Amino acid sequence: MQITEVNVTPINNEKKLKGFASIVFDNCFIVSDIKIIETARGAFLSMPSKKAANGKFRDVAHPLNGETRKMIEERVFETYETVTGHQLGTDFAVEVEAESLPDTQELGPVENKPEPRLEAEPVLESDLDLEPEKDLEPEEKADKESADTSTLLSVKEFGY
């Protein structure tokens, strides 16, 4: 498979987006809307994509291996530089002198201490209300049900 044509449309008003490209393979297949992006880490191509129903973007077309990606990038970057006269990777270049860098310190090994575990206090049988409900008087039973319901409402209403 050969790239038989590359077209580049430069964009001058954007900081990172440098332009769009389209490439033709073997005079019979075109891939359009390839973005030429330049960042502080270098230039790269963003393949055409579309927004899926879940809100994420998916590439519509992309190379399947590094060799093909490199071939496409080289041709597109070369064409971009020919069309614009601008060499990619120079907009964000910053020279830093060694003296201006802060001193570094070597860090020692990280200690892997286990996190403390919280132990639950044992529940004593005397702490539990094990009184059978059948022994309750009707008024006491109604009061208990009312208290249980209001607690349940508090939990639902306030998220406790």
Read off the pLDDT of residues 63-116 as tens digits, 9 standing for 90 and up: 999 999 999 999 999 999 999 888 887 655 444 444 455 565 566 666 666 666
Higher pLDDT, 145 or 13: 13
- Maximum separation of any 2 CA atoms in the chain, in Å: 95
Residue with tokens 């330049």: 38
pLDDT one-digit tens code per residue, 61-74: 999 999 999 999 99
Q: What is the pLDDT of residue 114?
A: 65
- Identify the band that residue 139 occupies on the pLDDT scale cut at 50, 70 and 90: low
What is the CB-side half-sphere exposure of residue 126 using CA atoms within 13 A?
A: 0
What value does the mean pLDDT take over residues 31-43? 89
pLDDT at 78: 92
Show me where the domains of the chain are located.
3-84, 131-158
Closest CA to 79 of 124, 135, 27, 34: 34
Domain with residues 3-84, CATH architecture: 2-Layer Sandwich (3.30)
